[in-house]
């Protein structure tokens, strides 16, 4: 297959799995901005088309690393993976000892580093011999990540560490305000000496103030500028953090500025090259790569990052049409695809099913009585419109009458007005009749003279055919009247 046929693709899934199916030596530039081990859970806030935030935050991704049985198994397997990846015995032994020490002293860091090691090992063979890689991280783990990059990409291939300094709100008295990220830059091989096509790069850098005293005034941009050699400290105003008022803001926590990616891609690749971002979030890299006429591949494990945020961005900001100008892979389009996702990743199957019916995933880490999601709609009452919801439960495996009764119990305890059950397989006639009888006992609700069954069920096949739960008007629907949202939250900047 030619490179062309691989590119302009967004994959939904764990980059580890996707990368194992990618062609070795097919990528010119990798930029990765993985979770930072910041022990926070980032939430992207969905907005409806009027720009108002919806009341529930969607888990964008969990940046909290836990040492569970699955991770412990992965750690035990890491020395073997390293040897298979061509890492020397000495370096493998060094990591084995370090991991033993971290297991006792910093298990969370170990969980994070081992997760990263597995993915970096899968990433390396994808790079062309002339390629380069930029790993974006912050000081939380950059010291360990640099040693890991030295191990996997080779210390001889280390090119530089770039400091990206930004100005965002929030300072602490306890330490110097933490306002920089770290970009570790490696070439694919020792001979690929030049990671930049311009060396050194002279660029017009913009500043809000003429702090150097030598800047010139650009009347069109109303900013000071200087034509300077770009150093490895990027703290100019050309690359500004994405703040609440930024026009490029997608409402995706951790979104990076396009200008940052434009500088990296513009200097470390050329037209027609393939740029790859295995943790692509809301597609900042993709936007920059496309603008600069590079082919691109992006992966993200969050379905809404791929299906909602990124595809909206590519359409609105670049006029790209899915299925024509680019392709989304890994999102089930058939019942077989859904079963496959269930087998591979149960949580992501549930997430997919909830989002298919316009629902919002509930945080799996909260005690939520087994609810997988919620779907919001407006109800009318004496005091005017108010927000109500349908609790959603997704069953990927077998389902029995006990599940229906359990969901009915949740509905009675919760302040939701309705409950929806999503099942993988269509039920046989007898089972369906039993389920419907049980669900009918929950009764109806009436809104503006229209009755809606309080409990409803859909199969995956029906969802894929376009059927949805029958509810009063949805909050996210186009042109819907918007209710006042209780306890609306605000987003934090990246
Ligand atoms: C720091 S954010 C990237 C933000 C991105 N640079 C942007 O500007 O939008 C990290 C992203 O990695 C994704 N992610 C986490 N683990 C992943 C994995 N194993 N495979 C693919 N994506 C993953 C998260 O869903 C999140 O969107």
Q: What does the DSSP assignment read for 416-438?
A: -SEEEEEESSPPPHHHHHHHHHH
Among 34, 242, 285, the mutation site with the greatest number of ligand 1 atoms within 8 A of its Cβ is 34
Segment among 118-132, 402-416, 477-491 with least mean pLDDT: 477-491
pLDDT of residue 482: 35
Q: Kindly list the distances between the CA atom of residue 145 and the CA atoms of 28, 82, 112, 276, 279, in Å, as whole numbers in the listed order.
A: 22, 15, 10, 19, 16
pLDDT of residue 51: 35
Q: What share of the chain is helix, strand, coil (3-state, %, to 5)?
A: 35, 25, 40
Angle at 304 between CA 299 and CA 308, to 5 degrees: 100
Q: How many CA atoms lie within 13 A of 222 on its CB side?
A: 0
Residue whose Cα lies nearest atom 16 of ligand 1: it is 301
Mean pLDDT of the chain: 84
pLDDT of residue 66: 74
Residue whose Cα lies nearest atom 4 of ligand 1: it is 281
pLDDT of residue 61: 52
Domain 3-193+251-329 identical in fold to domain 335-464: no
- Separation of CA 360 and ligand 1 centre (Å): 19
pLDDT of residue 380: 77
In 3D space, the residue among 340, 330, 333, 422 whose CA is nearest the CA of residue 374 turns out to be 422
Among 141, 241, 279, the mutation site with the greatest number of ligand 1 atoms within 8 A of its Cβ is 279
pLDDT of residue 149: 98
- Distance between CA atoms of 444 and 325, rounded to whole angstroms? 45
Q: Is 35 in the pocket of ligand 1 (CB under 6 A)?
A: yes
* SS3 at position 6: helix
**For residue 483, pLDDT beyond 60:** no
**Residue, of 406 and 377, whose pLDDT is higher:** 406
How confident is the model over 118-154, as pLDDT tens digits?
999 999 999 999 999 999 999 989 999 999 999 999 9
Check: CB of residue 145 under 8 Å from CB of residue 177: no
Q: Is 32 in the pocket of ligand 1 (CB under 6 A)?
A: no
**Residue, of 201 and 78, whose pLDDT is higher:** 78
DSSP 152: I
Residue 278 Cα: closest atom of ligand 1: 21
**Residue, of 169 and 33, whose pLDDT is higher:** 33
The superfamily (CATH) of domain 3-193+251-329 is Vaccinia Virus protein VP39 (3.40.50.150)
**For residue 370, pLDDT beyond 80:** no
Residue whose Cα lies nearest atom 24 of ligand 1: it is 61
pTM for the predicted model, two decimal places: 0.78
How confident is the model over 272-311, as pLDDT tens digits?
999 999 999 999 999 999 999 999 999 998 877 888 889 9
- Separation of CA 62 and ligand 1 centre (Å): 10
How confident is the model over 62-87, as pLDDT tens digits?
556 777 888 899 999 999 999 999 99
Task: Provide Rg for the chain, Cα atoms.
Answer: 25
The tokens of 84 are what? 């298979």
- Separation of CA 14 and ligand 1 centre (Å): 10
pLDDT of residue 310: 92
Mean pLDDT of 407-417: 91
pLDDT of residue 49: 35
pLDDT of residue 40: 54
**For residue 196, pLDDT beyond 70:** no
In 3D space, the residue among 150, 149, 141, 155 whose CA is nearest the CA of residue 110 turns out to be 141
**For residue 459, pLDDT beyond 90:** yes
Residue 36 Cα: closest atom of ligand 1: 1
How confident is the model over 34-65, as pLDDT tens digits?
987 555 544 444 444 333 344 444 445 555 67
Compute how many other C-beta atoms are within 10 angstroms of the C-beta atom of residue 438.
Answer: 17
**For domain 335-464, which CATH number applies: 3.40.50.620, 3.40.30.10, 3.40.1350.10, 3.10.20.70?**
3.40.1350.10
- Give 485's pLDDT tier (boundaries 50, 70, 90): very low
Mean pLDDT of 3-29: 88
**Residue, of 354 and 253, whose pLDDT is higher:** 354
pLDDT of residue 229: 83
- Separation of CA 299 and ligand 1 centre (Å): 8
Residue 242 Cα: closest atom of ligand 1: 8
- Separation of CA 34 and ligand 1 centre (Å): 5
Q: Is 287 in the pocket of ligand 1 (CB under 6 A)?
A: no
Among 35, 282, 312, the mutation site with the greatest number of ligand 1 atoms within 8 A of its Cβ is 35
- Separation of CA 33 and ligand 1 centre (Å): 7
**For residue 11, pLDDT beyond 60:** yes
pLDDT of residue 484: 33
In 3D space, the residue among 253, 233, 235 whose CA is nearest the CA of residue 243 turns out to be 253
Burial of 64 (0-12, 13-18, 19+ CB in 10 A): middle
Burial of 270 (0-12, 13-18, 19+ CB in 10 A): middle
Mean pLDDT of 342-366: 79
Mean pLDDT of 463-477: 80
How confident is the model over 376-394, as pLDDT tens digits?
888 877 777 788 889 999 9
Among 138, 248, 280, the mutation site with the greatest number of ligand 1 atoms within 8 A of its Cβ is 280
Q: Is 33 in the pocket of ligand 1 (CB under 6 A)?
A: yes
Residue written as tokens 């049980």? Answer: 438
- Distance between CA atoms of 454 and 443, rounded to whole angstroms? 6
Among 61, 137, 331, 361, the mutation site with the greatest number of ligand 1 atoms within 8 A of its Cβ is 61
- Separation of CA 35 and ligand 1 centre (Å): 6
Residue 15 Cα: closest atom of ligand 1: 20
Residue written as tokens 């690749």? Answer: 269
At how many degrees (to 10) do helices 69-84 and 89-105 cross?
160
Q: For the chain, give the percent of residues with pLDDT over 70.
A: 85
Domain definitions of the chain by residue range: 3-193+251-329, 198-237, 335-464
Residue 305 Cα: closest atom of ligand 1: 27
């Amino acid at each position: 297959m030619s490179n062309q046929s691989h590119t302009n693709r967004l994959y939904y899934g764990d980059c580890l799995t996707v990368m194992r199916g990618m062609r070795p030596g097919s990528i010119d530039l990798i930029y990765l901005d993985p979770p930072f081990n910041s022990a926070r859970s980032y939430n992207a806030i969905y907005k409806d088309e009027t720009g108002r935030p919806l009341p529930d935050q969607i888990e964008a991704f969990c940046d909290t690393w836990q040492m569970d049985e699955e991770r412990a198994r992965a750690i035990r397997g890491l020395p073997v993976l390293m040897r298979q990846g061509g890492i020397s015995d000495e370096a493998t032994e060094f990591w084995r000892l370090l991991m033993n020490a971290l297991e006792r002293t910093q298990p969370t860091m170990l969980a994070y580093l081992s997760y990263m090691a597995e993915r970096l090992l899968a990433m390396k063979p994808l790079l062309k011999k002339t390629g380069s890689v930029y790993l974006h991280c912050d000081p939380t783990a950059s010291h360990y990540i640099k040693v890991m990059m030295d191990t996997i990409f080779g210390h001889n291939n280390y090119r530089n560490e770039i400091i990206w300094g930004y100005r965002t709100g929030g300072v602490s008295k306890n330490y110097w305000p933490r306002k920089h990220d770290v970009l570790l830059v490696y070439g694919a091989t020792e001979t690929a000496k030049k990671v930049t096509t311009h060396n050194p790069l002279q660029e017009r850098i913009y500043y809000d103030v003429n702090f150097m005293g030598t800047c010139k005034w650009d009347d069109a941009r109303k900013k000071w500028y200087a034509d300077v050699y770009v150093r490895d400290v990027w703290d100019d105003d050309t690359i500004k953090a994405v703040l609440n008022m930024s026009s490029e803001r997608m409402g995706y926590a951790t979104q990076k500025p396009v200008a940052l990616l434009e500088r990296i891609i513009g200097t470390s690749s050329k037209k027609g090259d393939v740029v790859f971002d295995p943790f692509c979030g809301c597609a900042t890299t993709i936007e920059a790569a496309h603008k600069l006429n590079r082919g691109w591949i992006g992966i993200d494990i969050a379905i809404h990052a791929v299906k909602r945020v990124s595809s909206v961005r590519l359409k609105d900001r670049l006029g790209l049409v899915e299925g024509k100008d680019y392709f989304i892979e890994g999102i089930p389009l058939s019942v077989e695809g859904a079963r496959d996702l269930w087998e591979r990743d149960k949580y992501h199957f549930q997430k997919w099913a909830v989002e298919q019916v316009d629902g919002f995933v509930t945080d799996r880490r909260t005690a939520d009585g087994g609810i997988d999601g919620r779907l919001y709609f407006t109800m009318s009452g004496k005091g005017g419109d108010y927000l109500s919801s349908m609790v959603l439960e997704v069953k990927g495996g077998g389902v029995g009458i006990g599940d229906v009764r359990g969901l009915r119990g949740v509905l009675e305890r919760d302040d939701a007005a309705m409950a929806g059950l999503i099942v993988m397989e269509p039920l046989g006639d007898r089972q369906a009749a039993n389920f419907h009888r049980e669900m009918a006992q929950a009764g109806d609700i009436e809104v503006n003279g229209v009755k809606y069954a309080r409990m409803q069920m859909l199969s995956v096949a029906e969802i894929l055919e376009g059927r949805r739960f029958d509810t009063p008007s949805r909050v996210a629907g186009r042109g819907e009247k918007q209710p006042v949202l209780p306890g609306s939250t605000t987003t934090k900047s990246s």
